[in-house]
Copies of this chain bind each other. A is one copy, B any other.
Amino acid sequence: MPKIEDVAAKAGVSVTTVSRVLNNRGYISQATRDKVAQAMKELNYQPNEMARSLFRKKSNMIGLIIPTVSHPFFSELVYHLEYYADQKGYKVLLCNSNRDISKERKYIDMLKKNQVDAIVMGSNVQDVKHYLNLNLPIISFDRTVANNIPIVTSDNYTGGRLASRLLVDKGCRKLAHISGGVGGPNHAALLASKRFQGFRDELPDTGIEHVSLELEIAGLGDKRNVDELVRFFQEHPDADGVFATSDVLAALVIQACHQLKKTIPQEMKIIGYDDVGIASLVWPRLTSIRQPIREMSECAVELIVKLLQGEEVSMINSFPVTLIQRDTT
């Protein structure tokens, strides 16, 4: 690994001069600029960003903690986040917490030790204290943490309302609400619970009944998930509409329906959430509430950039959701 010293030697200039061309400071003639560029090329020199970061006290890295990239919602999130981060000159350190609080905490410590400039939290947030004394920007994705931590989310409440509104309009008489996270239960901090709230708030005047099931998701392909759904629908044979809090869950519901020989959408209408890739890969194609993941990711990166520039940002950044009608309703 050549160092700046080697470049200086090869170019026949001083280290300071090389540093000057590297950072575009002070006066440098075109001639030496070329000499230095030439030397760098010949040596295949890459400045050591660690050394630079150390001095600048800025690593241009952001840490991303999520439950698991293997869930399509998060994989799309990570994709876009990395894209925009790269655009702004940031690198992404990825952490899968599996919703394990202790692992989460370890990751936070690790990220801090490694001098990331900011953290994006897309995972649980049970012990708020741990997040507050971190003197680095944190932003939270779809979870409330504390009121001094900016959050980017989408309009979960309206999402829930849209979903039940649609099911009601399509003539459903008894609705089921299926929730369940990836590797752990939902809880109040998870804004997704607002979906349930919205879902229920749309029902009172209609006199339509609803039942609810919280699945402990075992792993995407695990057959137990479907089995549990089948059992649930056998207990509630009159349910004719389902709101699932993710497309993955909705896909499982479709499986259960096929197994129970319920026709979709005639005997059972299903609506998912997120509108990730699989929503249009299952059959029938899933009606879903779309979260604008791309825009949300872009917003997250912009928030970070602004925070790092010391600018004020709004604490709540909520994006509208849209109902995407396909074939399951």
Q: Contacts A281-B252, A281-B282 hold; do A93 and B96 have CB atoms under 8 A apart?
A: no
Q: A51 — nearest CB in chain B belongs to which residue?
A: B54
How far is it, in angstroms, between the C-alpha of A113 and the C-alpha of B51 when the chains are bound?
A: 10
Check if A236 is an interface residue, CB within 8 A of chain B. no
Interface size on A, residues (CB 8 A): 56
Contact with B along A28-65 (1 / 0, CB 8 A): 00000000000000001011111101100001010000
* B221/A46 in contact, CB under 8 A: no
Instruction: State which of B46, B78, B109 has its C-beta within 8 Å of the C-beta of A46.
Output: B109
Instruction: State which of B76, B96, B283 has its C-beta within 8 Å of the C-beta of A258.
Output: B283
Which residues of B lie under 8 Å from residue A151 when comparing CB positions?
A: none
* A281/B248 in contact, CB under 8 A: yes
Check if A105 is an interface residue, CB within 8 A of chain B. no
Check if A94 is an interface residue, CB within 8 A of chain B. yes
* A280/B220 in contact, CB under 8 A: yes
Q: Contacts A115-B48, A278-B278, A283-B255 hold; do A83 and B96 have CB atoms under 8 A apart?
A: yes
How far is it, in angstroms, between the C-alpha of A124 and the C-alpha of B279 when the chains are bound?
A: 28
Q: A103 — nearest CB in chain B belongs to which residue?
A: B86
Instruction: State which of B44, B51, B284 has its C-beta within 8 Å of the C-beta of A133.
Output: B44
Q: Contacts A75-B69, A114-B50 hold; do A221 and B96 have CB atoms under 8 A apart?
A: no
Which residues of B lie under 8 Å from residue A258 when comparing CB positions?
A: 283-284
* A70/B59 in contact, CB under 8 A: no
* B110/A94 in contact, CB under 8 A: no
Can you name 28 A-B pairs with beta carbons within 8 Å? A1-B135, A46-B112, A47-B113, A50-B59, A50-B115, A51-B54, A68-B79, A69-B69, A69-B78, A69-B79, A70-B72, A70-B79, A70-B277, A79-B96, A82-B94, A91-B93, A92-B94, A93-B94, A220-B278, A221-B277, A221-B280, A251-B282, A252-B281, A254-B283, A255-B281, A282-B282, A282-B283, A283-B283
A contact residues vs B (CB 8 Å cutoff): 1, 44, 46-51, 53-54, 59, 61, 68-70, 72, 75-76, 78-79, 82-83, 86, 91-96, 109-110, 112-115, 133, 135, 220-221, 223, 248, 251-252, 254-255, 258, 275, 277-285
A-B contacts besides A61-B93, A82-B94, 13 pairs, CB < 8 Å: A1-B135, A50-B53, A50-B59, A72-B72, A82-B95, A91-B93, A220-B277, A221-B275, A221-B281, A248-B281, A251-B282, A258-B284, A282-B283
